[in-house]
């Protein structure tokens, strides 16, 4: 195993770690070390940069809000829904000024139907308060929250998080999804 050495070449605010011939930032190191780690959440909470790379399981049928840390490029979270939410109460939000963009497919568990929400990065960055929440509601036609639904959230720039995933709804005709929305 290669020893982990903190590099003295970088200022403390931009600390680098050296593994073999690779220089890693703290975000890169946390993301690599947390791969395969599962964190189960059952109540309102705020994730930290040290959670980057973890699979975050939202597990509470009555719902709560999870807040992502301030956007730092390279941070990533896999979000898994583990219980049904029928009251639009499972939500994820970002720090003030940050936004979500990307695509989310909403598919029905009761019919062979689906629809896709696509939010273009330029649109989201231009009006971040219109794209600063994710909402999950199991029986809505515009979102979903069935157990097993999964999203990947990756920080691409200092203000934007790219979302990609498939969620399921008990609704029989998904239409005009609004999983990414204004809170």
pTM of the model: 0.81
Say whether pLDDT at 27 is over 80.
no
User: Beta-carbon neighbour count of residue 47 at 10 Å?
Assistant: 18
Is 132 within 8 Å of 70 (Cβ atoms)? no
Rg (CA), the chain: 18
- Write the pLDDT tens digit of every residue in 91-147: 999 999 999 999 999 998 888 899 999 999 999 999 999 999 999 888 788 888 788
Q: Which residue has the higher pLDDT, 6 or 123?
A: 123
Say whether pLDDT at 24 is over 60.
no
Name the pairing type of β-strands 76-81 and 150-157.
antiparallel
Say whether pLDDT at 22 is over 80.
no
């Amino acid at each position: 195993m290669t020893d982990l050495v903190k590099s003295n070449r970088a200022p403390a605010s931009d600390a680098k770690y050296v593994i073999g011939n690779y220089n890693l930032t703290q975000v890169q190191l946390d993301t690599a070390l947390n791969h395969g780690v599962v964190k189960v959440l059952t109540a309102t909470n705020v994730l930290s940069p040290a959670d980057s790379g973890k699979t975050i399981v939202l597990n509470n049928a009555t719902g709560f809000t999870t807040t992502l840390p301030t956007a730092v490029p390279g941070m990533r979270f896999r979000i898994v829904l583990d219980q049904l939410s029928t009251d639009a109460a499972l939500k994820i939000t970002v720090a003030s000024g940050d936004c979500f963009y990307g695509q989310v497919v909403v598919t029905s568990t009761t019919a062979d139907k689906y629809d896709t929400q696509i939010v273009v990065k330029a649109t989201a960055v231009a009006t971040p308060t219109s794209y600063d929440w994710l909402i999950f509601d199991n029986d809505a036609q515009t979102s979903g929250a069935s157990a097993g639904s999964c999203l990947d959230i990756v920080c691409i720039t200092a203000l934007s998080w790219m979302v990609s995933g498939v969620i399921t709804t008990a609704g029989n005709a998904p239409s005009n999804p609004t999983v990414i929305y204004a809170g």
